[in-house]
Amino acid sequence: MFAVAILALLVTVALALVRAALGPTVFDRLQAANSIGTCAMLLLALFGFLGGRPEFLDLALVYGLLNVIGIIAVLKFFRQGNLGDRGAPATASDRQG
């Protein structure tokens, strides 16, 4: 049963790699990268369960959080052109106050 789950996740990773390589838009590639990260997280949790190592679940959760934060940062960069407001020009109200 676990072999089927591992095989399904590996097939999903392979299909996501194809989508990341051939995706027509940047957002298709980002979604493929997110899918690969999610599958890696699930594989890590599954191997931890099979090996009797419950601390792998903690690592999988941290990896999932980093995956979400990374995708949000990349999307923010594509939307705004930068990741913060340090390089933003000052407005007239900022100069007066």
The residue ranges of every structural domain in the chain are 2-83
Tell me how far CA of residue 17 lies from CA of 33, 52, 60, 74, in angstroms: 8, 29, 20, 18
Helix (H) or strand (E) holding 27: helix 26-50
pLDDT of the residue at 92: 56
User: Rounded to 5 degrees, what angle do the CA atoms 62, 16, 70 make?
Assistant: 35
pLDDT in tens, 5-48: 999 999 999 999 999 999 898 889 999 999 999 999 999 999 99
Is residue 74 within 8 A of residue 30, CB to CB? The reply is yes
pLDDT surpassing 80 at residue 82: no
If one compares 27 and 90, the residue with the highest pLDDT of the two is 27
Average model confidence (pLDDT) for the chain? Answer: 87
pLDDT in tens, 58-74: 999 999 999 999 988 88
